[in-house]
């Protein structure tokens, strides 16, 4: 398999949560250009209650101009090196919950054609409720759905958020019987 190699790189945009660069690369038939989104990464959590419900957040997402139902998630802050610590922080901030047990599900690259973003996925159980600590620009509702209902919604294409779909599928496969009533 041919592997492209970077010849040169130019930062073309530097933002608060992402940068964009233009790389010149070797291609199978000469040279080509790649525009790459640099992103510090993110975490997403399938948080499961004692009643076998999954916590979902409902919020308006400007980029897709729609209200989206998704699992709690957030970006890994600059300087934060441990995705697990970011996941624990984000679950508490978005939902108020903390988890006694955490299971690493895996990681996904949501857009391999142009982004370096990696999302680390976790299942969290034995939850304890607490107070939300939302960022000042966040507005979301925390909802509970039976795990199987959320899973079926994802499987039927009723959810549009890729990380949520992937995480629910991975949680069911990896935790299996632990999730079933």
Mean local confidence (pLDDT), 48-61:
96
- Confidence band, pLDDT 50/70/90 cuts, at residue 2: confident
Burial of 71 (0-12, 13-18, 19+ CB in 10 A): buried
pLDDT surpasses 80 at 181: no
Q: What is the pTM of this model?
A: 0.94
pLDDT at 178: 64
Helices (H), the chain: 83-95, 147-155, 162-175
The pLDDT confidence band at residue 138, using thresholds 50, 70 and 90, is confident
Angle between helices 162-175 and 147-155 in degrees, nearest 10: 120
- Is residue 23 scored above 60 in pLDDT? yes
More confident residue, 133 or 14: 14
Q: What is the average per-residue pLDDT within 61-88?
A: 95
Active-site residue list: 136
């Amino acid at each position: 398999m041919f592997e492209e190699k970077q010849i040169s790189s130019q930062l073309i945009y530097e933002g608060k949560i992402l940068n964009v660069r233009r790389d010149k690369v070797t291609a199978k038939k000469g040279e080509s250009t790649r525009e790459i989104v640099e992103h510090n990464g993110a975490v997403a959590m399938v948080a499961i209650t004692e009643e076998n419900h999954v916590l979902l957040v409902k919020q308006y997402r400007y980029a897709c101009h729609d209200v989206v139902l998704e699992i709690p998630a957030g970006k890994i802050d600059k300087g934060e090196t441990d995705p697990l610590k970011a996941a624990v922080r984000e679950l508490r901030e978005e939902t108020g919950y903390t988890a006694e047990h955490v299971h690493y599900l895996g990681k996904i690259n949501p857009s391999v054609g142009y982004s370096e973003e990696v999302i680390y996925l976790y299942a969290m159980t034995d939850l304890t409720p607490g107070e939300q600590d939302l960022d000042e620009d966040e507005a979301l509702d925390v909802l509970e759905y039976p795990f199987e209902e959320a899973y079926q919604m994802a499987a039927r294409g009723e959810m549009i958020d890729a990380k949520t779909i992937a995480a629910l599928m991975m949680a069911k496969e990896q935790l299996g019987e632990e999730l079933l009533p």
